[in-house]
Structure 1
Amino acid sequence: MSMLRRPMSTERDVLMLAQWLSPAFPVGSFAYSHGLEAAIQSGAIANAPKLGDWLADVLAHGSGRNDCILLRAAYAAGGKIERVNHAALAVSASAERVLETCLQGDAFNRTTAAIWGGAALASGEEEPLCYPVAVGQAAARMGIDIDFTAVLYLQSFAANLVSAAVRAVPLGQTEGQGVLAALTPLCSEIANATRSSTLDDLAGTAFLSDIVAMHHETLQPRIFRS
């Protein structure tokens, strides 16, 4: 049985999400490690099994789950997106996390607005939308299935962090893809579990991930922006 509530979206929806969440989409995701670089430099992540365990915790108990809740809230918010965006900023645990989500969200929003329409800064010129908020709003505007959007967003989030680890640990490409494949069922599980969630359900217990994200702000030398 499918892990999603509704049948697969139309071919147009699948292709649009594949484009939005592709590494080629100009949000600069390759430049961010979500603090992973600091964890690697500390020795906490030195091989594929440790990477898989770390990312599973981030997905299930940290930013992954929260981003999924925020994406769903943005999808349902209509034009009243400010509260969702403020919540996204509030659960960003470090200055670099705020930078990461704001810059990617702003780039995503501007690109989708230029190609598919919509306001370039839907919550006001002074406050760019955070990344999951921007994706959720765009998916609602284009009428793309929210469950499909949520699970692909999580898979893209995990894929970007695997890519960062492949470069920084380093890991072989095949090892990295093995880690990502093992995380795919968890992405579906989290997408399912957050269907009825609200902003009141935002929480995080991936404390070590938050701590290394703070440490990354003073890490030298470094490759990534977060």
Structure 2
Amino acid sequence: MTTNRDILTLAQWLSPAFPVGAFAYSHGLEAAVRAGWVASGDDLAAWLADVIAHGSGRNDCILLRAGYEAEGPEALAEVNAIAKATAASGERQLEQVLQGAAFCKTTGAIWGAQGAEYLYPVAVGAAAAELRIDVTLTAAMYLHAVTSNLIAAAQRLMPLGQTEGQAVLFALAPLCEEVAQATAALGCDDLQSTAFLSDIAAMRHETLQPRIFRS
């Protein structure tokens, strides 16, 4: 049963203040803005909806659940290896490796979670399992936090006001919950991405100069 403490723990883990360095990554959005693929609030909402439902957002939920359900370090290591192998680009992989390592370091110091380092969604799933926090709630809040971070990145890249940015986040919140629930019966064999432009943008960012974000 979900408790208020579980919700507050997730809110802390997924807060912009949690030291995973999420502010440094745009997940390829910087390249998409530079190419003119995302130029307005409506463009951003459509772009993020595709990422959540058909791209890395959906995959992250599957990996988070796999990390949650893995029994023992060997199973977690296997899930982590799959997460590395299915990253759409080198920068996408680096993004998740570094954020995951930072997440594991902080949760280990405060909550006494396991010491091994895993990619970000796998790490969040494993930590939630250790504290017996509901996995669907964890996945939904994880997606919401990632979406919020990308909206914050967009506000540094394009003319997007605070109110419009929050309107985009509000509109996408139900989709975050929907995808979190829809991945309940899925496993690593179901990993895929049809958010092709998002993946191409992530690849383009690797050679983008000048740039603000690390991915």
TM-score range, shorter chain: over 0.9
**Superposition deviation, residue 87 in structure 1:** 1.1
Residue type matched to 1:97 in 2? R
> Equivalences for 1:190-209 in 2 at 5 Å?
190-209=179-198
**Superposition deviation, residue 192 in structure 1:** 1.1
Residue type matched to 2:20 in 1? V
Who is 1:18 aligned against? 11
**Superposition deviation, residue 120 in structure 1:** 2.2
Provide runs of 4+ in structure 1 moved above 4 Å.
none
How many residues are aligned here?
A: 213
Give the Cα–Cα distance (whole angstroms) in 1 for the partners of residues 130 and 118 of structure 2.
15
Who is 2:161 aligned against? 172
Structure 1 residue 75 corresponds to structure 2 residue 103: no
Who is 2:204 aligned against? 215
CA RMSD in angstroms comes to: 0.9
Give the Cα–Cα distance (whole angstroms) in 2 for the partners of residues 189 and 144 of structure 1.
18
Structure 1 residue 144 corresponds to structure 2 residue 113: no
Give the Cα–Cα distance (whole angstroms) in 2 for the partners of residues 190 and 167 of structure 1.
27
Q: Which has the higher helix share?
A: 2
Structure 1 residue 153 corresponds to structure 2 residue 148: no
**Superposition deviation, residue 82 in structure 1:** 1.1
Structure 1 residue 115 corresponds to structure 2 residue 113: no
- Secondary structure, in 3 states, of the residue corresponding to 1:81? helix
Give the Cα–Cα distance (whole angstroms) in 1 for the partners of residues 12 and 113 of structure 2.
17
> Equivalences for 1:1-150 in 2 at 5 Å?
9-79=2-72, 80-121=75-116, 128-150=117-139
Structure 2 stretches lacking a partner, 5+ long: none
**Superposition deviation, residue 171 in structure 1:** 0.7
The share of aligned pairs that are identical, in percent, is 63
Who is 2:214 aligned against? 225
Residue type matched to 1:209 in 2? S
Give the Cα–Cα distance (whole angstroms) in 1 for the partners of residues 69 and 81 of structure 2.
15
- Secondary structure, in 3 states, of the residue corresponding to 2:163? helix
Deviations 1:162-218 (A, max 9, x none): 110011113101111000110011011101110111111111111111111111011
